[in-house]
Chains A and B, each alone.
Chain A
Amino acid sequence: MQYLSPTTVDDAVRLLSSQTGDCKVLAGGTDLLVRMRSGFAEPDSILDIKRIDELRRIAHDDGGWRVGAAVSGAEMGEHADLVADWPGVVEAVNLIGSTQIQGRATMAGNLCNASPAADSVPAMIAAGAVARIAGPDGIRDIAVTDVPTGPGKTCLKPGEFITSIWLPSRPDRSGDAYLRFIPRTEMDIAVVGCAVALTLDAGGTCTAARVSLGAVAPTAILVDAAADTLIGTTVDDTALDALARACSDAAKPIADKRGTVEFRVHVAGVLAKRAAIIAKTRAGGAP
């Protein structure tokens, strides 16, 4: 097995395109190395992107934040300005694994692993995040919501990899939140996940909202019908009940060892309500 560690995006693209066997991109490695250790992945080569400087930065870009694909969850958690703008996204990233895992795991890696239960993905979708992809045909930007195409599958073409995730500028009086349900308190995988990002006007009425659910479909989903229940309301109890119903209606989960269909459908609504209340509070709305 070959280990490749380019220092520029161009070199990385060139190396990735020239590999004839199975080449896996390595960022934090918290999914890839586990898969290799347990015999589920036996790549011919590994391309480590952590030596590429621009992929290790969190930078202002176009009013928002550009988070490099090799930035760890811990680095995001320690970035006060990023946390202030997108607390829901950062808390979702910081829910992944343990303290040790946080030192390695990346948001882009969580996206590329394409688990329907990935914690950061609903939060990114609710935030309207955009993935920047480098490949043999150059650079392209694509909405995070379009990156996963099924469990373990992404829209990335051969030779492509994600270089960064862009989080848009946060409008005034906005807030986001992510909640997941797990049977214990940490070190677990979401049975259901829900992210809510919303904006209020000066009077406390919701003017914009995005709601995303995880672990209730083959990919994390953006639920427009759920957002519509909030827009134009003060996110009051009536709106929250409608939100919960809309999320439960949108949830199309499977039953598996982690939860029944009925449980996931119900809890999708419960979490949406609770996440919306946190997002509203963060947006400066009345509790």
Chain B
Amino acid sequence: MALDSKTDTKPQTFKVIGTRPLRPDGIDKVTGRARFGADMSAPGMLVGLVLRSPHAHARIRSIDTSAAEALTGVHAVVTRADFGPLRDEGTADVLDNCMAGDKALYDGHAVAAVAATSGKVARQALKLIKVDYQPLPHVTDVDAAMAPDAPALHEGRADETVPAGMSGNVMARHEFGHGDIDAGLSQADRVLERTYRTEATHQGYIEPHACLATMNSDGQADLWCCTQGHYMVRNTCAAILGLEQGQLRVTASEIGGGFGGKTTVFLEPVALKLSQKSGRPVKMVMSRAEVLRATGPTASSSIDVRIGMTRDGRITAGFAELRYQGGAYPGSPVDMGSMSAFAPYDLENVRTVGFDVVTNRPKQAAYRAPGAPMAAFAVESAIDELARGFGLDPLEVRLKNAAREGTRASYGPTYPAIGLEATLRTAKDHPHWSAPLGPNQGRGVACGFWFNFGGDTCVSLNITPDGTVTLSEGNPDIGGSRASMSMMAAEELGIPYDRVRTVIADTGSLGQNEVTDGSRVTFAVGLATIEAARAAKREMCKRAAQVWGIDEDAVIWEDGAARPAGPNAGQHPPMSLAEIAAIASNTGGPIAGHFEVNAEGAGVSFATHMVDTEVDPDTGAVKILRYTVFQDAGKAVHPSYVEGQFQGGAVQGIGWALNEAYIYGEDGILQNPGFLDYRIPVASDLPMIDTVILEIPNPGHPYGVRGVGETSIVPPLAAVANSVSDAAGVRMTSLPMSPPKLLAAIQSGTS
């Protein structure tokens, strides 16, 4: 039919895309009506609490739960013994992290849980559980964990990629690159070698993990929880508990931040097990200390970089060895760090080697562009130091080496149209770049890259009898996706934005949906939404053709109505969506469109950040004076949300650069499990973060959309470090640049 040729090309002009409508969840959120993880209750509900290891590393000789079970009001106590063995190694690690097996692997590791009639009884019960621990030597630092004599967490689990003779804590080795590093370095006028370190940082979402589990004796179960992916929760919990996936219905609550940290499970399998054992609904809510001690921060890193540059700014070779500790289990994002480290540059000779290392810390979880910010900190700091050493403009040096369409990326693929050069040129032309600086002030720039992702996606779009549209998607709205989905549906259908309402459906309502990660939702769910709308349009054209008595190929959809394709189709007044919907029952029944895809073509994304700082030379305090983000969004569906993503990434990166850190004592105990001493930036620490949205369309999306949520946290660590190094006159190679560390560096004249 004629419809395809008309709608499968990208609209030249948009009516809804690019506007800034109010967010549909706004009123609920500002009035406190929105229901988050801890806001759900059920009749007869019990309170579940977790007992956690006070040791960094200990063998669990025995757990005596009899006194707790005997306490009035206690309905269930669970330990690892209540869970069966699991074949899949990855799922087994998830379970072991939710409930320790024969060893407690970090301070805060769950060892038992209780469900009781009140929080008070549950707290009493925890005190009655007797755990016989045999403390073991521990290690929390990545380089210490790689020493041959380091205490090993898991014997014999190293991947076959790990060379013989390495510490038993090295789980995997990754290598990427091409060319000849030594040959490249020999062409350089200067070869810079530096070691960079970053500390583990937490995603810092304000909402703690929370869930309400109900498991019936007939094998059906329901779970309400705060998550970035309720399908993942369903599949993981079903595997751990031995349930059929279809029997476990998971509903996602509103989410008070995730940033990657809610892409796995912590409480959910435990709550289900407690419910199964007690026969009652069980609600569990973590305290802030539990969130910091036992949920995923990101990896800490130690990175050696070797880069050669000619005096005119050409990079002749780039090498990095990246060592990331990802906590007590394999799977640190060192592979993605190794792939992304040199991704912004067109290099003849480039190689990265990454080591995945386990330590006695909580299992790392994804954090916004997992693995990339630390790698960018190392590489972008080294490039900056080389450029400044030659007296070259750091933006010019980056432009000279910038990857572009056709560049073979350091991690393998050849880039299609990308936006890096555009961000660099726009940055160079921006008034920020030429603004004057005062005493003790400095300016830094850095680039960043992220892959972006698509993945399994399933949406359903329904036309109601009165001509409004409901869209069901399966990804929790963590960044305004209900608004952007409604906008894409409205654009495609040619109806106003406020005629579309998007809901987050439970796992019983749609097919599999990948977690909200990889900046995938606006891209992949958006693509599916557009395709679902197109399917609905085809159906509506068919209904109009039926009414008009003409061939359905002779009907097109334009401006929210079905119309005859041309004069040959006959003279029929257009039928609007509402008119077609009103008679749907008489023309074949309800009208809907749906779409299922494993979306590909997400389109990589680049950013350049520019930041001015002022350093107090007497205290080492850093003030962020001005910050500008330049990033390629492909196409900004809702520019305010895109700006919000740019700003949020920059702010989290500023926190990472300046003050945020997991602080461990000699005893391996986390010293700062609270927001007082785990310092995320507060509003008064920050200037308005300026943003410049660039739009280099992604060929893989009908409207050109690229994910924007993660790239924005990649450059700020290096951008802030380059700025502070400029302001303080000393090169800072270790994060966070906390005042004591920076003051010591200033006083000794070197970092």
Q: Which A residues are closer than 8 A to B by beta carbons?
A: 38-39, 181, 183-189, 191, 256-260, 262-263, 266-267, 270
Contact = CB atoms under 8 A, between A and B. Distances in A.
Interface string B663-694: 10000000110001101011011000000000
B619 A270 contact: yes
Nearest to B743: A263
Nearest to B616: A270
A39 B123 contact: yes
Contacts of A266: 618, 743, 747
A257 B743 CA distance: 16
Most chain A C-beta atoms within 10 Å of own C-beta, residue among B618, B659, B672, B679:
B618
B682 A257 contact: no
Given A184-B659, A185-B684, A38 B287 contact: yes
Contacts of A39: 123
B679 A188 contact: yes
B715 to A, nearest CB: 22
23 contacts: A181-B619, A181-B621, A181-B739, A183-B621, A183-B658, A184-B679, A184-B682, A184-B684, A185-B682, A186-B684, A187-B682, A257-B671, A259-B739, A259-B740, A260-B744, A263-B739, A263-B740, A263-B743, A266-B618, A266-B747, A267-B618, A267-B619, A270-B619
B621 to A, nearest CB: 7
Contact of A270 (B618, B681, B747): B618
Contacts of A181: 619, 621, 739
Contacts of A267: 618-619, 743
B738 interface: yes
Given A257-B671, A267-B619, A270-B618, A184 B738 contact: no
Closest 7 A/B residue pairs (Cβ)? A263-B740, A185-B684, A270-B618, A257-B663, A257-B671, A184-B685, A260-B740
Nearest to A244: B618
Interface string B11-46: 000000000000000000000000000000000000
Nearest to A256: B671
Contacts, number: 54
B289 interface: yes
B676 A183 contact: no
B617 to A, nearest CB: 10
Question: Chain B: interface secondary structure?
Answer: loop
A266 to B, nearest CB: 7
Interface of B: 123, 287, 289, 618-621, 658-659, 663, 671-672, 676-677, 679, 681-682, 684-685, 738-740, 743-744, 747
Nearest to A261: B740
Nearest to A269: B618
B671 A184 contact: no
A183 B659 contact: yes
B410 to A, nearest CB: 36
B743 A258 contact: no
Contacts of B677: 189, 257-258
B412 to A, nearest CB: 41
A191 B741 CA distance: 14
Given A38-B289, A183-B658, A266-B747, 9 more contacts: A181-B619, A184-B682, A186-B684, A188-B679, A256-B671, A262-B740, A263-B620, A263-B743, A266-B618
Most chain A C-beta atoms within 10 Å of own C-beta, residue among B684, B738, B740, B743:
B740
A258 B661 CA distance: 11
A247 B684 CA distance: 29
B681 A184 contact: yes
A257 B738 CA distance: 11
Given A189-B676, A257-B671, A183 B738 contact: yes
B622 to A, nearest CB: 9
Contacts of A262: 740, 744
A38 B659 CA distance: 24
A250 to B, nearest CB: 18
A266 B738 CA distance: 15
B670 to A, nearest CB: 10
A235 to B, nearest CB: 18
A181 B620 CA distance: 10
A263 B744 contact: yes
B413 to A, nearest CB: 41
A39 B619 CA distance: 36
B300 to A, nearest CB: 16
Contacts of B659: 183-184
B739 A188 contact: no
Contacts of B619: 181, 267, 270
A257 B741 CA distance: 12
A257 B660 CA distance: 12
A231 B671 CA distance: 42
Nearest to B126: A39
A264 to B, nearest CB: 9
B689 to A, nearest CB: 16
A242 B747 CA distance: 20
A257 B289 contact: no
Contacts of A260: 740, 744
